Amino acid sequence: MKIHIWSIIRYLFIFILIVFFVLIFKQNYLVFLLFPYVILPAVAIPAFIVNVKKLEITGGAVVPDIEKGGNILYYVEYSNPTYYPFLKCIINFSIDNLFFKTDKDTVLNINCMPKKKDRVNISIRTSKTGMVSFEGKSIQITGFMGMVSVREPLNFSVQVAVLPEKKSKVPVQELPYSEGYDEYTEPDMKGSLSSDIKEIREYRPGDRLARIHWKISAKIDDLAVKEMERTSVMSLVIVPELEKSMIDDTVSMTDAVCRELTDRGERFEVCLYNKTDCSFEYYIIDDEDSLKNCYRDMYLLPLYDTAGEAKEAYYSSSQKSAFLISVAGDKVTMYEDGLEVVMDD
């Protein structure tokens, strides 16, 4: 608890002024003001010290994610279960995009009225993708006539993912599979398959001849096809470059590429490179939720300054995939076994 000397001096000056008027100008009715003026601090300050411990301050957000360009609506909520009015509360907080941190704090003044639970909204307009973090740092609560104040830490932290705007379709090279690539490759290119047979099914137009089970087909006098088990290894991996100077464009282009491949029916993964421990995390993208989860984790990764660092680290490690799509800013490049694939005109 902090005692404000100047506020006490000001209070005493007013007390002396009242006494002066009583004695010099014979204003006897002012005597009735002296008694409550003396008693009030003796009652109000202990009441403040007891009740301030019951005040609760929390923070939150209306939605967990929002598209770039929209407004994030954060809020500070207070709960004052006491009869004591806290009329001067200064909240110290920060709102930062983790990709573009400024480390600047902001203050908010609120009044916490007695026996009330209420909230104050804070609207932030987004201009870049990333994780926008709203963190409460501290609150300073000033008591009766500013004589005493208490500073308490605030520990709430709320994060909202700013998702990229949906772009129009982008040109992504078709995977260069050739006819008869191998007998374990799906014609619709939905990922790598193992050599284990999952089931035998009837032939459908478009199935490769290499997948036909000739012995069973001869027995049932109809074409039967081998359905193979899928492996956990994907034949197509997208590696976004988390280069600091172009991270916003990289996220937007990664989103466009993922949506293009999903619309085609491709089965693929996004591989995120963590510069700190040189590790890789894989995310199978098959719906909107899986894409959002990928972004939320991407936004928490450290950025770097070296161009092409994630791709180089990928090929230098034991991580191997037949096809890799590198996304760096607005540039999309496909590689097959480490060699760049020239895009068709």
pLDDT number for residue 178: 40
In a domain, 181, yes or no: no
The reply to whether 108 falls in a domain is: yes
Count of domains for the chain: 3
Q: What share of the chain is helix, strand, coil (3-state, %, to 5)?
A: 30, 35, 35
Please indicate, yes or no, if residue 40 is contained in any of the structural domains. no
Give per-residue pLDDT as tens, 213-258: 888 888 888 888 776 554 444 578 999 999 999 999 999 999 999 9
Low-confidence stretches of the chain (pLDDT beneath 70): 27-30, 173-198, 205-208, 210, 227-234, 319-321, 343-345
pLDDT in the model for residue 231: 46
Contact assessment for residue 147 and residue 4, using Cβ atoms and an 8 Å cutoff:
yes
Statement to judge: residues 205 and 289 lie in one domain: no
Residue 79: inside a domain: yes
Average pLDDT score, the chain? 84
Length of the chain equals 345
For residue 228, the model assigns a pLDDT of 57
Domain stops at, among 208, 230, 252: 230
| 215 in a structural domain | yes
The residue segments making up the domain with residue 92 are: 53-163
27 — phi, psi (to 5°)? -90, 80
pLDDT of residue 253: 94
- 106 shares its domain with 127: yes
Please tell me the distance from the alpha carbon of residue 134 to that of residue 75, in angstroms, as a whole number.
9
Residues 200 and 268 in one domain: no
Q: Please check whether residues 142 and 96 belong to one and the same domain.
A: yes
